[in-house]
Amino acid sequence: MYTLVVCEKPAAARRIAQALGEPTESRPGGISIFEVKNSRRHYKICTALGHLYGLTDVTKNRSVYPVLDLEWAPLAKNPQVIRAINVISRLAKDASSFVHACDYDQEGEVIGYSILQYACGDKYAEALRAKFSTLTDEEIRDSFANLTKPNCGLADAGRSRHMLDFIYGVNLSRALVRSFKSVGRYRNLSIGRVQGPTLAFAVNREIEIRLHIPDPYWIITAQFDKDGQTFSAQYEKPRVEKPAEAKAIINACLGRNGIVNSISDNKSVLRSQAPFNIGDLQREAYSLFKLGPGYTLTIAEKLYLQALISYPRTSSQKLPPSIGYDKIIYGLSKVGRYSQLVSMLLSKERLVPNEGPMTDPAHPAIYPTGVAPRQKLSGLEFKVYDLIVKRFLAAFGDPAISRHINVTIDVGGYVFKAGGMTLTYEGWMVLYKPYVRFNQRKLPELHKGDLLKNLGVEMEEKFTQPSYRYNQASLLAKMEQEKIGTKATRADIISTLFKRNYLAACKGGLEVTDLGFAVIDSMREFAPGIVSTNMTRLMEEQLANVEEGSADSISVIEQAADKLLESLTSFIEKEADIGAQINGAISADTAQTAALGQCPLCKKGQLCIVRSRTTQKRFVGCSNYAGGCKATAPLPQKGSIRTTGKACLECSWPLVGVVFARGAKQWRICTNIHCLSKKRGTT
């Protein structure tokens, strides 16, 4: 008789088998099984391939909605999944006991639950749970020596999350697709309880950007000399709203030397950044390496499976003493590139990390295990690993100290300000190089009453700028801030918005497409709860209560289903209107490459809207370019462009419509930049 150990991934199964003894491997049906026999126990360690079971619609009819009758079933479209289930089922018949050793989080608990219940014959309740945050030999052996009961609350919360995501995602997506079919077209559209609010964040920001009207202002800068050292100072008002006021200040200050009015000299203590949780790691990797959040998570999971770092899907910024600071840091000393940094920490009397406020009941912050890599890491793998190691080491470093000098200077009754900032003690920053930079600004030695030679005063016109577009990292941070989605799913949600063509990458970040606007407009009009952050956040809180055992999963799902049905009722009534709205948006996207009309120059080609492959800017060009026609014209780079089918009465070039914001006025313009109508303002 043997103990059957259920793992989530083949690499994890192999690591666990190696930690428990000297395994032998067999591959029935092409599925790896590791067998370990020692004087105390006999294990057979099997592996899932991620999820082997998923939710399915009992009707099996994709055109039917609403759908609330669900069942858990094997993912039958994948033959390897079926082979894995069959192998595990055969092994379960002769097993005397079971160990759930999948990742210790909601997804891992659901994967193990499904296998133990459905493939092994209702064995979840009697199985024991192995809990570990790293795949090091020592921690695996310790977890098997201290097995616990499975976390039923974690399983209930995970299964409930799958059900909520399914009934919202499937029903709303089918509603969108059917509304589009009502106008005679088909497209793969989707929306969900987390996807909706996330897209709405981007839409709100895009509207804010497109409606922004830049206002001019002026900044005034003076250059001073003290004993041959020059420095600049800014006028005390960061913005001067009127040019006449700015000119008056310039005229009053010209040729007048400055007098130092006041000096403040302060020291500032700069503590290290908190250890990484998955959101912090994803944002830092994007900032430093331009890695998308999903890719960063994939790399981190590879490092975890190689036992190089702890479990990455964590919200915690805490490093408990139980992980063994000394041991980890000493282990890193054997990795050549970190030996010098580690020696700085090992010389300290006490190792106390600087931690952040966020916690996670399942896992600590991400930390290196101290185990040296057994194989050479790829370039990006090493970058992420090095970032994690140095962030961990920096958490134990001394606070850095900086010196801040602020000076006010009087010039003819006008006050200018200058600041200097220098680092007097690097502390933890030494341990986090090259990922931390301190921009120093030095001032000459100054004293109150010093006379400063005025080298010149200048005014510069600037314009107010709209908010920045979200990028992948900042959109993920917004989701985290609003408490929607989970640490494991947020990156996938953003990826889905790209796949559906709701978002597109642009130079300034993420731009919402016409289709993305249309979907959100439809949701806000006919199913506003779907894009409500409050509703999604409430569901997350209810799922947390299910995990803690203070809420019943059935009642949570029933409440959510009732709200969904309310939204779908009005949605179904307006199917045709929604379909027409989305069709218009897709047609507008398609019009980006559509012909505008016959070229008025060569009379052979068609003028089309095209996008440069190098600059990504759109412009009008003739399809007869290869035949020698050089007809081109610039286009507005913002807003949706729609064909009108009409030509300009002045020059015969096509007229296009431009809409700069959803619901805003459509501007009709001639594409010919030299058209006389532009000079007269008649277009």
CATH of the domain at 32: 3.40.50.140
What three-state secondary structure class fits 521?
A: helix
Residues 502 and 635 in one domain: no
Structural domain ending residue among the three candidates 528, 557, 585: 585
Residues 259 and 346 in one domain: no
In a domain, 39, yes or no: yes
Q: Where are the beta strands (DSSP E) in 277-425?
A: 400-411, 414-425
Distance CA 502, CA 495 (A): 10
In a domain, 100, yes or no: yes
Structural domain ending residue among the three candidates 585, 615, 647: 585
Distance CA 368, CA 388 (A): 7
In a domain, 74, yes or no: yes
Residues 194 and 244 in one domain: no
Structural domain ending residue among the three candidates 535, 554, 585: 585
420 burial via Cβ count (<10 Å: 0-12, 13-18, 19+): middle
Owning domain of residue 482:
160-210+468-585
Contact present, 461 and 216 (Cβ < 8 Å): yes
What are the tokens at 221? 């800068």
Amino acid residing at 530:
I
Which is it for the CA torsion 47, 50, 56, 61, positive or negative? negative
Per-residue confidence (pLDDT) for residue 680, from 0 to 100: 58
SS (H, E, C) 104-150: CCHHHHHHHHHHHHHHCCCCCCCCEECCCCCCCHHHHHHHHHCCECC
| Alpha-carbon distance values, 382 to 219, 292, 345, 374 (Å) | 44, 16, 22, 13
CA nearest to 315, candidates 106, 467, 162, 545: 106
Q: Within 10 A of 88 (CB to CB), how many other CB atoms are there?
A: 24
Contact present, 612 and 619 (Cβ < 8 Å): yes
Residues 74 and 204 in one domain: no
Give the CATH number of the domain where residue 498 resides.
Answer: 1.10.460.10
Residues 61 and 186 in one domain: no
Per-residue confidence (pLDDT) for residue 615, from 0 to 100: 67
Give the CATH number of the domain where residue 226 resides.
Answer: 2.70.20.10
Q: Within 10 A of 207 (CB to CB), how many other CB atoms are there?
A: 17
Distance CA 497, CA 540 (A): 21
Exposure on the CB side of residue 350, measured as CA atoms within 13 A: 4
Distance CA 412, CA 248 (A): 12
Per-residue confidence (pLDDT) for residue 598, from 0 to 100: 80
Q: 């960063």: which residue's tokens?
A: 296
What three-state secondary structure class fits 555?
A: helix
Q: List, edge to edge, every strand of the sheet that includes 33-37.
A: 24-26, 33-37, 42-47, 2-7, 95-100, 128-129
Contact present, 470 and 201 (Cβ < 8 Å): yes
Per-residue confidence (pLDDT) for residue 181, from 0 to 100: 82
In a domain, 155, yes or no: no
Task: Please pick, among 104, 217, 286, 311, the residue that the annotation labels catalytic.
Answer: 311
Return the DSSP state at 563.
H
590 burial via Cβ count (<10 Å: 0-12, 13-18, 19+): exposed
Which is it for the CA torsion 195, 196, 199, 205, positive or negative? negative
Distance CA 438, CA 423 (A): 8
Task: Extract long-range pairs of 613-617: CB within 8 Å, 24+ residues apart.
Answer: 616/506, 616/507
Amino acid residing at 429:
M
Contact present, 613 and 633 (Cβ < 8 Å): no
What are the tokens at 30? 């092409």
In a domain, 284, yes or no: yes
487 burial via Cβ count (<10 Å: 0-12, 13-18, 19+): buried
Amino acid residing at 384:
V
SS (H, E, C) 158-222: HHHHHHHHHHHHHHHHHHHHHHHHCCCCCCCCCCCCCHHHHHHHHHHHHHHHHCCCCCEEEEEEE
Q: What does DSSP say about strands 618-622 and 632-634: parallel, antiparallel, or unpaired?
A: antiparallel
Residues 380 and 265 in one domain: no
pTM of the predicted structure, to 2 decimals: 0.81
Per-residue confidence (pLDDT) for residue 614, from 0 to 100: 58
Residues 239 and 128 in one domain: no
Residues 412 and 481 in one domain: no
In a domain, 523, yes or no: yes
Residues 505 and 377 in one domain: no
In a domain, 195, yes or no: yes
Kindly list the averaged pLDDT for each block of 10 residues, start to end, along the chain of length 683: 94 95 92 89 92 90 84 88 94 96 94 96 96 94 95 94 92 86 78 92 92 93 95 96 95 94 95 96 95 93 95 95 93 87 89 94 94 90 96 96 96 95 95 92 94 95 93 94 90 91 86 89 82 89 92 92 85 82 68 67 80 71 76 81 80 82 71 75 48
Residues 578 and 659 in one domain: no
Residues 252 and 114 in one domain: no
Q: Which residues contact 647 (CB under 8 A, 6 or more apart)?
A: 597, 600, 653, 654, 655
What is the separation, in whole angstroms, between the first and last Cα of the chain? Answer: 86
Query: Is 311 one of the annotated active-site residues of the chain?
Result: yes
Q: List, edge to edge, every strand of the sheet that includes 666-670.
A: 640-647, 654-659, 666-670
Run of H or E including 394: helix 379-394
Q: What does DSSP say about strands 95-100 and 2-7: parallel, antiparallel, or unpaired?
A: parallel
Give the CATH number of the domain where residue 355 resides.
Answer: 1.10.290.10
Largest Cα–Cα separation, the chain: 97
CA nearest to 105, candidates 304, 321, 319: 304
Q: 């082979």: which residue's tokens?
A: 83
Amino acid residing at 498:
F
Per-residue confidence (pLDDT) for residue 131, from 0 to 100: 95
Per-residue confidence (pLDDT) for residue 578, from 0 to 100: 83
Residues 228 and 293 in one domain: no
Run of H or E including 224: strand 216-226
102 burial via Cβ count (<10 Å: 0-12, 13-18, 19+): buried
Amino acid residing at 195:
Q
Q: Within 10 A of 405 (CB to CB), how many other CB atoms are there?
A: 18
Distance CA 113, CA 111 (A): 6
In a domain, 423, yes or no: yes
Q: 């990390």: which residue's tokens?
A: 353
